[in-house]
Amino acid sequence: QVHLVESGGGSVQAGGSLRLSCAAAGYTFSNNCVGWFRQAPGKEREPVATIYTAIGSTYYADSVRGRFTLSQDSAKSLVYLEMNSLKPEDTAMYYCAANPTRGAWQCFLNSPFGDWGQGTQVTVSS
């Protein structure tokens, strides 16, 4: 099991930006599907974006496409979620998740994930 740790959450005003990070202690995201999910109070958890780390292919939910961007560091030890033009409806607990994956065809927004982090809170005020 991979221990995932999210960081970078915080409180911003609408239109602001945040960058979330997902790290796995002692582990390299060399061939993984890494996903970001969010859950707002009273709502179900929803997928935000996924990245297949071997080649950097990405998928985004319609609600964040064009505003959020996934990336990874050159050492493949961190996955970032850059969030721009934040809206109050982006307020949620954000979680990263990971799963070893054979290829990009197994990395989509609805892919299953076995390892999850504890989450980082993002609050966007109007």
Gap between the Cα atoms of 25 and 17, Å rounded: 26
- Is 90 exceeded by the pLDDT of residue 26? no
- Which of 25, 21, 26, 24 has its CA nearest to residue 9? 21
Comparison of pLDDT for 25 and 98, the residue scoring more: 98
What mean pLDDT comes out for the span 75-80? 92
User: Could you tell me which residues come within 8 angstroms of residue 25 by beta carbon, excluding any fewer than 6 positions away?
Assistant: 3, 5
What mean pLDDT comes out for the span 98-118? 91
Q: Residue 16: what pLDDT?
A: 98
pLDDT tens track for 117-126: 999 999 999 9
Task: Give percent of the chain above pLDDT 90.
Answer: 83
